[in-house]
Structure 1
């Protein structure tokens, strides 16, 4: 069930690690990953004050949830990213590039004033299609 990255010259090229759009044949199992934060399995928060380390932990958590659903990060078609500071865009995408390869998932990033804990800098939810 190949995922395909959509790119068209009628839209501006993405400036981060995501596609303009992503298509996939919907004949697999959908895995909806709830918002993942920088919580480690022991409950502690990784990278307090460090968006790169928090992004790494968040993506490890997304990966663990997708794997528990029978897939890999290659199966992720969409992510929604909530950040406390949009100025961290480049730092976040530096880490994302270590986790996602083409064809890249579609993505939206939004700056928010608060997350569920004052030490959280980023939260990501995801949708994967697993064959």
Structure 2
């Protein structure tokens, strides 16, 4: 069940680690990963005040959830990213590049005024399709 990254010259090239669109044959299991934060398995928060470390923990948490469902990050077709400061875009994508490889998932990133805990700087939810 190959995932395909869609690109068209009718749209501007993405400026981060994501595709304009992603296609996949929907003959697998859909996995909907809830918003993952920088919580470690012991409940502590990784990287308080450090967007790079929090993004690393969030991506690791997304990976753990997808792996628990029987897949890998390569199965992720879409992510939604909520950040406290859009100025962290480049730092976030530098970390995402360490976790996601082409074909890249489709993505939306928005800045929000608050997340569920005042120490959270980022939250990511995901959709994966596992064969």
TM range (shorter): over 0.9
SS at match of 2:99: coil
> What is aligned with 2:33?
33
| Mapped pair 1:86 → 2:117 | no
TM-score (structure 2 length as normaliser) = 1.00
Unaligned runs of 5+ in 1: none
How far is the alpha carbon of 1:78 from its aligned partner? Answer: 0.1
How far is the alpha carbon of 1:64 from its aligned partner? Answer: 0.2
- The two structures, once aligned, show a CA RMSD in angstroms of 0.2
SS at match of 1:98: helix
SS at match of 1:35: strand
Unaligned runs of 5+ in 2: none
> What is aligned with 2:56?
56
> What is aligned with 2:122?
122
Runs of 4+ with deviation above 2 angstroms = none
Aligned-partner Cα distance in 2 for 1:64–1:97: 17
Aligned-partner Cα distance in 1 for 2:130–2:82: 24
How far is the alpha carbon of 1:17 from its aligned partner? Answer: 0.1
How far is the alpha carbon of 1:69 from its aligned partner? Answer: 0.5
SS at match of 2:109: strand
The number of equivalent residue pairs is: 131
TM-score (structure 1 length as normaliser) = 1.00
